[in-house]
């Protein structure tokens, strides 16, 4: 799949916010997802969408991240789980097909394409994952978005 520019709608999310050093991202993802999954039944957040990770760039040694899931409506904060959103607007998009270890290369592909197209990035990026439990990693699809300024 090639990179493209898409128009995205605002989507509400339930997330755990964290600043995570790069080597700790996998553990932070697992911990945050467990916290969100545990809180979701009591949040009254409406219908649930796909899991996601939102982060800001540029980043030097750590990413400012929001790890969670898309929800149908806003809700009151519960512990570490807070309401947030994915922004509306124009975004550069790329779809990674395959296992998560391809993520760094996929992001590099998207950012290189944006630079070649002379697109100005807003610094807000996100990944939306298909449900991965019980799925062959080779068949995973992850949508990558970089909001345009």
Q: List the chain domain ranges.
A: 4-148
Q: What distance separates the 2 farthest-apart alpha carbons in the chain? A: 46
Print pLDDT tens along the chain (149 aa): 699 999 999 999 999 999 999 999 999 999 999 999 999 999 999 889 999 999 998 888 999 999 999 999 999 999 999 999 999 999 999 999 998 889 999 999 999 999 999 999 999 999 999 877 787 888 899 999 999 99
- Give the per-residue pLDDT at 68: 97
CATH code at 4-148: 3.20.80.10
- Provide the pLDDT for residue 1: 66
Would you say 87 and 13 are in contact if contact means Cβ atoms under 8 Å apart?
A: no
Q: What residues contact 31, with CB distance under 8 A and at least 6 apart?
A: 16
- pTM across the whole model: 0.93
Report the pLDDT value the prediction gives residue 131, as an integer from 0 to 100. Answer: 76
Strand stretches in 26-88, DSSP E: 48-56, 62-71, 81-86
| pLDDT, position 58 | 82
Token digits for 19?
A: 């600043």
Beta-carbon contacts of residue 146 (< 8 Å; ≥ 6 apart) = 91, 92, 110, 111, 114, 121, 122, 124, 125
Q: In angstroms, rounded to a whole number, what is the distance separating the alpha carbons of residues 97 and 47? A: 26
Q: Which positions ≥6 away from 48 have C-beta within 8 Å?
A: 40, 69, 70, 71, 72
């Amino acid at each position: 799949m090639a990179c493209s520019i898409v128009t995205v709608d605002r989507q509400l999310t339930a997330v755990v916010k964290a600043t995570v050093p790069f080597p700790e991202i996998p553990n932070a993802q697992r911990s945050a997802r467990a916290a969100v999954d545990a809180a979701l039944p009591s949040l009254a957040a409406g219908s649930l969408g796909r899991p996601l990770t939102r982060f800001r760039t540029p980043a030097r040694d750590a990413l400012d991240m929001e790890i969670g899931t898309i929800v149908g409506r806003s809700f009151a904060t519960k512990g570490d789980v807070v309401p947030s959103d994915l922004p509306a607007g124009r975004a550069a998009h790329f779809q990674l097909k395959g296992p998560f270890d391809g993520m760094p290369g996929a992001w590099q592909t998207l950012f290189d394409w944006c630079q070649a197209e002379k697109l100005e990035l807003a610094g807000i990026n996100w990944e939306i994952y298909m449900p991965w439990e019980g799925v062959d990693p080779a068949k995973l699809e992850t949508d990558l978005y970089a909001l345009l300024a």
